[in-house]
């Protein structure tokens, strides 16, 4: 072990003083990453293809006549997998939001920034769409650099023009999709096809979203991950020595040095070819250790594996591993079970509990919401037969996709209920108001306030849909 730890280099840490994409004067340094290739890049293409397919077709997929996902903040209407959620269900969202934050924390503690590299929309759009178009039109990193240095001539104007036109077209497509998740495809279709004067708010939103996406992917790029994204900035507190991150195996790689033909190699496996640095979309050198800028995109793994194949060394000099694995000199084929730390256990318990609560709430969430209140300004009335009656107002929300005729019954104590006006039918996804009298005998009263329980039944099949508690006012 001593021998191994002796080989861990104590590096010059000055690279941590500033972002690699910013020079000494604070000016942006443009990153020209080399086109990545290899098995991880291939896997990521598949994952990205599935996620992009899901994202772009999502607004068109209907479940129970509703979109798969709709986050209509304007009308406070949310649809998840065809289930409509109302502002009254907001507590579920709060719990789901808390569970999501905990999930992200737990996931990051164990797997580092795997989300950033494989599933983050920013990375997928940037690396799998916009960057691909850039390679296709301008060529690989060396040609891109040469093009940027070139004076403005026909070739440069054509290439840059084509690239930015394609970028804008895709930004418009993303903006449309984004808006479809907020207002629904039908409303979006109206905005696109009807005169702008009738939808100027929607049209402006489309223009703004398109402009924002275009600016982000054409110019701002990796700065979103390194400067803006709060998740990236949290890494410092979330990662520990057992977190799995993309890392350089310095025990095996150091001391690094160029490969010399016909000379016995006494150095480590890193031949200082810089391929892992050239492919990095955030411009860092993974050999400096885990850094805030690393989005776990796997490009450096593929680049280094290709070099290891060429020089006849085992793959994995740059790989998914924890700091502990590296420091203990565990090579990829010497897999030992990952240590499940107390922190992971604590997060897992809370997460499972929260998911359980959310599951139970969703599972038991009634399709009918009801509010019963004694009519304002009223007290009790004495009926002709010597009983007492109270007047109540009722508000019923129907969260289902069908109109529901309802019947109101008094469950506790046993007594009479008399509806004011016609029978109530609650429209699909709508509200209905009503009023009713509850009549109790004097012997049923428990002082001034008697608790009563009301039942709302489906009039078609006499099925209890919801209950509500209130109080009955009586004489002292
Ligand atoms: S260091 Fe490697 S994994 Fe991290 S961003 Fe750069 S290329 Fe991607
Ligand atoms: S690609 Fe591998 S061998 Fe080349 S510099 Fe990076 S770590 Fe060293």
Question: What is the Å distance from ligand 2's center to 306 Cα?
Answer: 10
Pick from 346, 365, 384: which residue ends a domain? 365
Please report which confidence band the pLDDT of residue 42 belongs to, taking 50, 70 and 90 as the band edges: very high
- Ligand 1 probe mutation, 32, 286, 289, most atoms within 8 A of CB: 286
Q: Between 32 and 397, name the one with better pLDDT.
A: 32
Closest CA to 248 of 275, 229, 228: 275
The Cα–Cα gap between 476 and 284 comes to: 79
Q: In 10 A of CB 266, how many CB atoms? A: 7
For residue 6, what pLDDT is reported?
Answer: 45
Name the closest ligand to CA 114.
Answer: 1
Q: How far is the CA of 306 from the centre of ligand 1 (A)?
A: 15
Phi, psi for 177 (deg, rounded to 5): -65, -45
Average pLDDT over residues 262-271: 87
User: Same domain for 238 and 316?
Assistant: yes
Q: What is the mean pLDDT of residues 396-401?
A: 82
Please give the average per-residue pLDDT across 164-187, as a whole number: 94
* Segment among 153-157, 276-280, 429-433 with least mean pLDDT: 429-433
Predicted local distance difference test score (pLDDT) of residue 335: 46
Does ligand 1 lie within 6 Å of residue 114's CB atom? no
Q: Are 417 and 315 within one domain?
A: no
* β 416-420/424-426 pair status: unpaired
Tokens describing residue 249: 């195996």
Note the pTM of the prediction, 2 decimals: 0.78
Radius of gyration, CA atoms only, the chain: 32
pLDDT of 432 above 80: yes
Residue 352, pLDDT score: 82
pLDDT value of position 1? 41
Please tell me which residue, 327 or 219, carries the higher pLDDT value.
Answer: 219
Regarding whether 405 and 353 lie in a shared domain, the answer is no
Please tell me the number of the ligand nearest to residue 304's CA.
2
Q: Count the domains in the chain.
A: 2
CB 190 within 8 A of CB 199: yes
Higher pLDDT, 80 or 426: 426
Q: What is the rounded average pLDDT of the residues 112-132?
A: 94
Q: Given ligand 1 and candidates 295, 304, 306, 317, which is best to mutate, with the most ligand atoms within 8 Å of its CB?
A: 295
The secondary structure of residue 312, as a DSSP letter, is T
Shortest-distance atom of ligand 2 to CA 300: 1
Interval 28-38 mean pLDDT: 94
101 CA to centre of ligand 1 in angstroms = 24
Q: Is the same domain home to 330 and 374?
A: no
Q: From residue 376, give the alpha-carbon distance in Å to each of 213, 424, 433.
A: 52, 21, 15
DSSP letter assigned to residue 305: H
What mean pLDDT is predicted for residues 257-272?
A: 87
The ligand that comes nearest to the alpha carbon of residue 286 is 1
- The per-residue pLDDT for 274 is 95
State in Å: Cα 279 to ligand 1 middle: 8
Max distance between CA atoms of the chain, in angstroms, equals: 115
Task: Return the minimum-mean-pLDDT range out of 13-17, 102-106, 251-255.
Answer: 13-17
d(CA 425, CA 94): 31
Are 307 and 377 in the same domain?
A: no
Q: Is the same domain home to 343 and 408?
A: no
| pLDDT of 8 | 46
DSSP category for residue 217? I
Confidence of residue 12 (pLDDT cuts 50, 70, 90): low
Q: With cut-offs at 50, 70 and 90, classify the pLDDT of residue 111.
A: confident
- Distance from residue 175's CA to the centre of ligand 2 (Å): 39
- Domain limits for position 374: 368-473
Whose Cα sits closest to atom 1 in ligand 2?
304
Ligand 1, pocket-test mutation among 40, 229, 290, 297, most atoms within 8 A of CB: 297
Q: Is it the case that residue 7 has pLDDT exceeding 60?
A: no
The predicted pLDDT at position 18 comes to 67
Q: What pLDDT sits at residue 5?
A: 43
Mutate to test the pocket of ligand 2, among 11, 250, 253 (most ligand atoms within 8 A of CB): 253
Of residues 233, 218, 219, the one with CA closest to residue 294 = 233
pLDDT at 4: 42
Closest listed ligand to the CA of 297 = 1
Contact 459, 406 (CB under 8 A): yes
Where a domain ends, among 335, 365, 395? Answer: 365
Residue 453, Cβ density class (10 Å: 0-12 exposed, 13-18 middle, ≥19 buried): middle
Ligand that comes closest to the CA of residue 296: 1
Distance 187 CA to ligand 2 centre (A): 52
Please determine, for residue 161, whether its predicted confidence score (pLDDT) is greater than 90. yes
Q: Residue 449 pLDDT more than 50?
A: yes
23-32, 51-60, 330-339, 437-446, range with greatest mean pLDDT? 51-60
Going by pLDDT thresholds of 50, 70 and 90, the confidence category of residue 341 is low
Pocket of ligand 2, beta carbon within 6 A: 248, 253, 270-276, 287, 303-304, 307, 317-318
Whose atoms come closest to the Cα of 232: which ligand?
1
> Are 400 and 322 contained in the same domain?
no
Same domain, 28 and 150: yes
Higher pLDDT, 300 or 342: 300
Check: CB of residue 78 under 8 Å from CB of residue 70: yes
Whose CA is closest to 291, among 242, 229, 226?
A: 226
CB 304 less than 6 A from any atom of ligand 1: no
Quickly state the pLDDT bin for 211 (edges 50, 70, 90): very high
Considering every ligand atom, which ligand is closest to the CA of 279?
1
- Is there a single domain that holds both residue 156 and residue 217? yes
Kindly tell me if the per-residue pLDDT of 264 is higher than 50. Answer: yes
Calculate how far, in angstroms, residue 296's C-alpha sits from the geometric centre of ligand 1: 5
pLDDT > 70? residue 139: yes
Q: How many CA atoms lie within 13 A of 116 on its CB side?
A: 27
Q: At what angle do helices 154-183 and 131-138 cross, to 10 degrees?
A: 160
CA of 298 to the centre of ligand 1 (A): 6
445: CATH: 2.60.40.10
Could you tell me if 389 and 442 lie in one domain?
Answer: yes
Query: What integer is the mean pLDDT of 379-398?
Result: 88
pLDDT value at 278 more than 50: yes
Mean pLDDT, all residues of the chain: 86
Q: How far is the CA of 132 from the centre of ligand 2 (A)?
A: 24
- Using a pLDDT cut of 90, give the percent of the chain over it: 43
Q: How far is the CA of 110 from the centre of ligand 1 (A)?
A: 18
Q: Which atom of ligand 2 is nearest to the CA of 303?
A: 1
Q: Mean pLDDT across the stretch 74-96?
A: 76
Do 47 and 161 fall into the same domain?
A: yes
Residue 214 in this model has a pLDDT that exceeds 70: yes
Summarised one tens digit per residue, pLDDT across range 286-340 is 999 888 889 999 999 999 999 999 999 999 999 998 888 888 876 655 445 556 6
Per DSSP, what are the bridge partners of residue 392? 374, 436
With cut-offs at 50, 70 and 90, classify the pLDDT of residue 66.
confident
Boundary-marking domain end, from 333, 365, 397: 365
Residues 54 and 111 in one domain: yes
**pLDDT-derived band at 129, boundaries 50, 70, 90:** very high
467 versus 355: which is more confidently predicted? 467
The residue whose C-alpha atom lies closest to atom 4 belonging to ligand 1 is 294
Q: Say whether pLDDT at 3 is over 50.
A: no
Query: Residue 89: its pLDDT value, please?
Result: 75
Residue 275's pLDDT band, with cuts at 50, 70 and 90, is very high
Q: Is the CB of 286 under 6 A from ligand 1?
A: yes
Measured between alpha carbons, how far is 436 from 439 in angstroms, rounded to an integer? Answer: 10
């Amino acid at each position: 072990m001593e021998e191994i730890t002796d080989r861990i280099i104590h590096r010059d840490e000055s690279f941590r003083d500033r972002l690699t994409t910013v020079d000494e004067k604070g000016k942006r340094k443009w990153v020209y990453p080399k086109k990545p290739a290899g098995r991880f890049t291939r896997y990521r293409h598949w994952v990205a293809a599935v996620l992009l397919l899901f994202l772009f077709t999502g607004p068109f997929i209907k479940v129970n006549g509703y979109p798969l996902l709709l986050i209509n903040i304007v009308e406070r209407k949310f649809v998840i997998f065809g289930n409509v959620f109302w502002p009254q269900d907001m507590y579920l969202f709060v719990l789901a939001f808390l569970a999501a934050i905990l999930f992200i924390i737990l996931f990051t503690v164990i797997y580092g920034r795997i989300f950033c590299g494989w599933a983050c929309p920013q990375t997928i759009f940037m690396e799998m769409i916009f960057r691909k178009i850039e390679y296709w039109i301008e060529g690989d990193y060396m040609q891109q650099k040469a093009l940027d240095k070139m004076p403005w001539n026909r070739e440069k104007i054509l290439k840059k023009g084509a690239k930015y036109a394609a970028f804008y077209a895709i930004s418009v497509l993303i903006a449309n999709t984004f808006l479809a998740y907020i207002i629904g495809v039908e409303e979006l279709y109206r905005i696109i096809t009807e005169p702008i004067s009738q939808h100027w708010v929607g049209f402006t939103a489309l223009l703004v979203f398109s402009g924002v996406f275009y600016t982000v992917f054409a110019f701002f790029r990796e700065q979103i991950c390194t400067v803006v994204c709060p998740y990236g900035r949290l890494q410092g507190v979330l990662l520990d020595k057992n977190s799995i991150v993309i890392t350089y195996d310095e025990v095996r790689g150091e001391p690094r040095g160029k490969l010399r033909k016909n000379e016995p190699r006494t150095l480590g496996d890193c031949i200082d070819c810089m391929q892992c640095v050239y492919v990095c979309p955030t411009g860092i050198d993974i050999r400096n250790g885990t850094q805030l800028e690393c989005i776990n995109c796997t490009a450096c793994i593929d680049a280094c594996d290709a070099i290891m194949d060429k020089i006849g060394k085992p793959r994995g000099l740059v790989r998914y591993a924890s700091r502990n694995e590296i420091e203990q000199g565990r090579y990829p084929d010497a897999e030992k079970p990952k240590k499940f730390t107390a922190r992971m256990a604590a997060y897992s318990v809370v997460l499972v509990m929260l998911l359980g609560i959310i599951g139970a709430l969703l599972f038991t969430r009634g399709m009918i919401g009801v509010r019963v209140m004694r009519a304002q300004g009223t007290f009790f009335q004495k009926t002709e037969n010597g009983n007492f009656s109270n007047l109540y107002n009722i508000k019923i929300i129907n969260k289902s996709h069908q109109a529901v005729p309802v019947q109101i019954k008094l469950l506790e104590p046993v007594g009479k209920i008399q509806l004011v006006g016609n029978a109530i039918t609650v429209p699909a996804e709508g509200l209905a108001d009503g009023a009713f009298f509850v009549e109790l005998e004097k012997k049923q009263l428990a002082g001034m306030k008697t608790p009563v329980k009301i039942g709302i039944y489906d009039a078609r099949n006499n099925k209890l849909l919801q209950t509500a508690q209130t109080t009955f006012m009586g004489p002292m």
